[in-house]
Structure 1
């Protein structure tokens, strides 16, 4: 009899889990076109096709993952896919004291990936609360990258004893992708023919809900 009860248990558990995530999934973070966020960095192999399905050529230019509840999906294409943002370094968050670079640096990135929601970490912000730095958005920069200078992140190693601060407070601004370094590369934008279903990059400049990623659907992922 126990063997017969197992499928029923899993059906009940699956229904309950689906109910919980369905409720939670409606709470995607709505953010303004400009504001403040945190910036981290992660390793993304060259020519890798990330969550947005953007062509491999996109990795030859500055790209970033966006924290999941702002990205808008948990598995694949979110409404943030393909959007471009100008990110400006302000100061470090974890160092004591905070490091303020003598010159602010900025970079325009294209969102091609999601930074998964977790119970801790920098991509854990939900509508119920921000991350540890007090921000609802985190951009995870694909870095090191062949498209970004190795000295993009400023430091003061003689004072702090290290060069990688890990987490930065930044300002962000949603910008037209015509300002992205890969704008004139048709392959990086996914607009070349013959890419096949394995690469379905979002619209070249998805600045509003009418031209978000053509493969985006609310059914493609819940938190």
Structure 2
């Protein structure tokens, strides 16, 4: 069976600095797959390259078996690959509803209003405050909006970059509960997350990225039990 997303021997450079070196992984439809690793490991660069915001030095990115590495970012989004970026990147002077509408800008179907209601059902606080400016929201509420905005493109693959960054433990749990709920609704998710314990506990499969390379891979629960992962990323000796 063809994976929904396949990344094959991907290398990405910023000038002379190689940030991603020969990384390979795959995401099956309906899975949550996590990339974990330290800061600077190349995880965000990998997501930005899949999204078309960066171009690879070498290697291949396949979506539903077809190469997408040479496509423009908006064309990749139209194919069904959406990214919720690190730091949220909302339009703070625009309302909740306006931010969500922007998430659907590539769509030409009649289901946008229905999907906006789906976001409000998933995050009731957004529905209650839909006419308020995004910049007035807390970090956790902004993260909900950023996820909702990405969902508005109706993605086949949703990529989440550090969704728990800067959030309280309670809000972090709320975000991870939402990720689990999205999977239950049929969304395939590629997750980059510093909270390795939470990410692997949630994931069907995980990949450890170190210095731009995948060094370990396996089912999420197997990586949780791996002594090397626990020592390096879970703070255990």
TM-score strictly above 0.5: no
TM-score (norm 2): 0.25
More strand by share: 2
Larger radius of gyration, structure 1 or 2? Answer: 1
TM-score (norm 1): 0.26
User: Which structure exhibits the higher relative contact order, with contacts defined as CA atoms closer than 8 Å and separated by 6 or more residues?
Assistant: 1
